[in-house]
Structure 1
């Protein structure tokens, strides 16, 4: 079994525009067209049983409409294998009610992307909404490290996350991109061994393998999750590179699906 904890899709009418805009801003290449159908096809072709969509609200007024689609996708997950988290923008004045709506709808967690939202991860507004999400039992996936769309401003670093973890004691936090894209030294210094999940999205094959292996081997083996960041990475290649890592089969199995299964409680 394989669970991809970190993917992205868009509503069908928005997908072409969203993919083109993000390709231009990040200088990136999308491997899929951004629709749920294309992601489900990729999953089927590459032996990925479950994927989780991580929607991003770059504006506070987008949250409700994005989450309408997230709930629709999530409700079909038992059939399609594609589930969804909800979008969270800390500046949305109705965000607490929106979090309660997500929880009631069966959504397991939320995605926060400080760079797209123009907020630092340790801003009081951000921390308070994460505290409330944690009270509801929602998982919180945070973009960590550099984002190619914002190469000069890094609002969500491992050090900032480490600084607020004591306030989020007991919360289910996932630090995306191995804890910090292009911040692997700080990940080792600040996050490895802490009470935080990390996912592997958009890192394996892109950073020093010896350092990646140290992080995987020194962090809590129950708190590492396989992710790809599809469509911004190719699910087939990301899975191949992960399986080729010289780590134990037991650890691979935990990362590929067991840890996500236990966290998501969906199987």
Structure 2
């Protein structure tokens, strides 16, 4: 099976008042990545693209970078994945911008009650760091409930908060505090891929995805990925996850570029599906 660990909830399923002004919040992203058109892709577009690319299962995240919309997104993700549970799994989120720890913990518990498999947090977009004191309550709740925590790591183009807030060495602090908590470093922490490799090697509970990153550059020696990619076929083969960050990156392009990369067959199988299935306990989906 091919499993995409991270796709975004289609924009048409977001709260209307947020959706209407969505592109106003991403001028810098659009200038760097040209994402404004792709962000308008619909639920039907996602379903068709997964089918065309041969992706068997998608993990849909309530991933957002602004506003207090966590509650609405969590309900929308749960409803979306419930319509096709064999093809979709969901991750919720919490309201990072409000400073209400009790509410964030309640949101984690609501995600669990909705049957979601994890939560997604993007601390730097809300002026927080990965090891933010208040986030430790969120991590503790997720750990207690057996939820996976996916965390934005590495570069972002928001320009409102320093990206050092999402350095992978801060993820090391969280993994030390919660040795049983399953963590995923989204975007594989570039430009700190070597540091991420050390964190993942140290903590078997930490995985990483390549969502939003072009696989074609991963094997280039001057791209900043050399240390991580030198270990992906051996020490880190059970920690790597295929992801697109759809609609930012298309499934067809991502799979074609991964196919062109030389990997052990066992690593390719783990990357494209086996690791995510084990992480999220999706083995029952295997026909």
Structure-2-length-normalised TM-score: 0.83
1:218 and 1:249, CA in 2 relative to 1: closer, same or farther beyond 3 A?
Answer: closer
1:54 and 1:209, CA in 2 relative to 1: closer, same or farther beyond 3 A?
Answer: farther
The count of corresponding residues between Structure 1 and Structure 2 is: 264
CA contact (8 A) 1:121 1:127 kept: no
Shift of 1:23: 4.7
For 2:179, the equivalent position in structure 1 comes to: 169
CA RMSD of aligned residues (A): 2.3
Verify: 1:239 aligned to 2:255, yes or no: yes
Is the deviation greater in 137-146 or in 91-100? 91-100
1:205 and 1:22, CA in 2 relative to 1: closer, same or farther beyond 3 A?
Answer: farther
1:140 and 1:71, CA in 2 relative to 1: closer, same or farther beyond 3 A?
Answer: same
**Matches of 1:139 and 1:128, distance apart in 2:** 14
Shift of 1:118: 1.4
1:23 and 1:43, CA in 2 relative to 1: closer, same or farther beyond 3 A?
Answer: farther
Shift of 1:139: 0.7
Verify: 1:63 aligned to 2:70, yes or no: yes
Shift of 1:16: 6.5
The secondary structure found in structure 2 opposite 1:6 is: strand
1:151 and 1:233, CA in 2 relative to 1: closer, same or farther beyond 3 A?
Answer: farther
For 2:5, the equivalent position in structure 1 comes to: 5
The secondary structure found in structure 1 opposite 2:69 is: helix
The secondary structure found in structure 1 opposite 2:72 is: helix
The secondary structure found in structure 1 opposite 2:247 is: coil
For 1:29, the equivalent position in structure 2 comes to: 34
Shift of 1:197: 0.9
**Matches of 1:264 and 1:109, distance apart in 2:** 9
For 2:243, the equivalent position in structure 1 comes to: 227
Per-residue displacement from partner, 1:47-99 (whole Å, max 9, x unpaired)? 111111222344573221111111111212326x2332101234344122221
Please give the residue correspondences for 1:99-178 in structure 2 after superposition, counting only pairs within 5 Å. Answer: 99-150=108-159, 153-154=162-163, 155-178=165-188
Shift of 1:236: 1.1
Please give the residue correspondences for 1:83-102 in structure 2 after superposition, counting only pairs within 5 Å. Answer: 83-90=89-96, 91-92=99-100, 93-102=102-111
Per-residue displacement from partner, 1:126-176 (whole Å, max 9, x unpaired)? 122112111111110001111122386111111111122110111111111
CA contact (8 A) 2:93 2:108 kept: no
The secondary structure found in structure 2 opposite 1:221 is: coil
Gaps of 5+ in 1: none
Is the deviation greater in 143-152 or in 36-45? 143-152
Verify: 1:78 aligned to 2:81, yes or no: no
Is the deviation greater in 201-210 or in 141-150? 201-210
For 2:210, the equivalent position in structure 1 comes to: 200
**Matches of 2:39 and 2:273, distance apart in 1:** 23
Is the deviation greater in 115-124 or in 180-189? 180-189
**Matches of 1:237 and 1:22, distance apart in 2:** 26
